[in-house]
């Protein structure tokens, strides 16, 4: 992945959305841009249409839950943690990750936004990418993120009458009554 490509994308983003870019970082081989949540769809549309970038392929879209604890806060990699907290407030977050791909120049970029844990809302991407339809439904199904303007926002993999959003961290998987897996027994 050429560094000049990375720079070009960052420059184009900063040129038009200077106030929206919170952090630019290189996570392993991937350019990752953390953005404010307000104009995300506009930014993706710009990257889609701008002849310089033309990110016209949505590789994947999904969510990550960072509950309101110091430990999970540290998981937000790099310097992102402080920046996100100072911008979005101190509560827990749900991050939405968009991975875009320009197939002509074979360059990828990852965009991240952080939504509040309570009642997360973001506009839908289905008007740009048809593929976002089920990806957003899946994200709603597992994290309860509401995508405004989505044509058919209902559960996709879980049963309709489920009342929780199971991928959130407050629903632990392992049986909590188990005593053989206590942390102190493993030096954790």
Partner 1 sequence: MADTTTDIDKVQPEEKQYSYLNLGPTHPATHGIFQNVLKMDGEIIVEATPTIGYIHRAFEKLSERRPYNQITPITDRLNYCSAPINNIGWHMTVEKLLKTEIPKRVQYMRIIIMELARITDHVVCNAVIGVDTGALTGFVYMFQQRELVYEIYEEICGARLTTNIGRIGGFERDFSQKAWDKIDKFLVEFPKVLKEFENLLKRNRIFMDRTIGCGGINAERALNYSFTGPNLRAAGVDYDVRVAKPYSSYEEFDFNIPVGINGDVYDRFMVRQEEMWQSLGIIRQALDKLAKLPSGPFHAEVPEFYLPPKEEVYNNMEALIYQFKIVMGETDVPKGEVYHCVEGGNGELGFYLISDGGRTPFRLHYRRPCFIFYQAYSEIIKGSMLSDAILTMSSMNVIAGELDA
Site of interaction with partner 1 (CB under 8 A): 27-28, 30, 32, 56-60, 62, 64-65, 71-72, 74-75, 77, 97, 99, 103, 106, 110, 129-131, 133-135, 138, 142, 156-159, 166-167, 172-174, 186, 188
What is the full DSSP assignment across 110-147? EEEEEEESSS-EEE--TTT-TTHHHHHHHHHHHH--EE
Closest to partner 1 by CB, 46 vs 168, is 168
CB 63 to partner 1: min, Å: 9
Contact criterion met (CB below 8 Å) for 147 and 37? no
| DSSP H or E segment with residue 72 | helix 70-75
Closest to partner 1 by CB, 118 vs 160, is 160
Phi-psi region of 63 (alpha: psi -120 to 50; beta: other; left: phi over 0): beta
Q: Which of 137, 99, 122 is nearest to 39 (CA)?
A: 122
CB 15 to partner 1: min, Å: 26
Q: Using CA atoms, how far apart are residues 133 and 139, in angstroms rounded to an integer?
A: 10
Closest to partner 1 by CB, 1 vs 11, is 1
CB 74 to partner 1: min, Å: 7
Closest to partner 1 by CB, 19 vs 154, is 154
CB 65 to partner 1: min, Å: 8
Contact criterion met (CB below 8 Å) for 60 and 99? yes
Closest to partner 1 by CB, 5 vs 158, is 158
CB 88 to partner 1: min, Å: 18
| Token pair 């844990």: residue | 117
């Amino acid at each position: 992945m050429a560094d000049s490509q990375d720079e070009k994308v960052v420059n184009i983003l900063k040129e038009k959305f200077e106030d929206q870019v919170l952090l630019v970082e290189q996570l392993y081989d991937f350019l990752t841009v953390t953005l404010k949540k307000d104009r995300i769809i506009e930014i993706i549309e710009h990257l889609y249409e701008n002849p310089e970038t033309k990110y016209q392929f949505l590789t994947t879209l999904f969510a990550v839950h960072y509950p309101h604890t110091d430990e999970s806060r540290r998981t937000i990699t790099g310097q992102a943690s402080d920046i996100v907290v100072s911008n979005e407030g101190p509560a827990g977050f749900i991050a939405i990750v968009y991975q875009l791909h320009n197939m002509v120049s074979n360059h990828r970029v990852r965009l991240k936004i952080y939504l509040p844990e309570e009642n997360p809302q973001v506009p839908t991407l289905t008007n740009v990418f048809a593929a976002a339809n089920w990806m957003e439904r899946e994200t709603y199904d597992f994290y309860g993120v509401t995508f405004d303007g989505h044509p058919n926002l209902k559960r996709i993999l879980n049963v309709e009458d489920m009342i929780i959003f199971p991928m959130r961290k407050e629903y632990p998987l392992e049986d909590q009554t188990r005593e053989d897996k206590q942390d102190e027994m493993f030096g954790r």
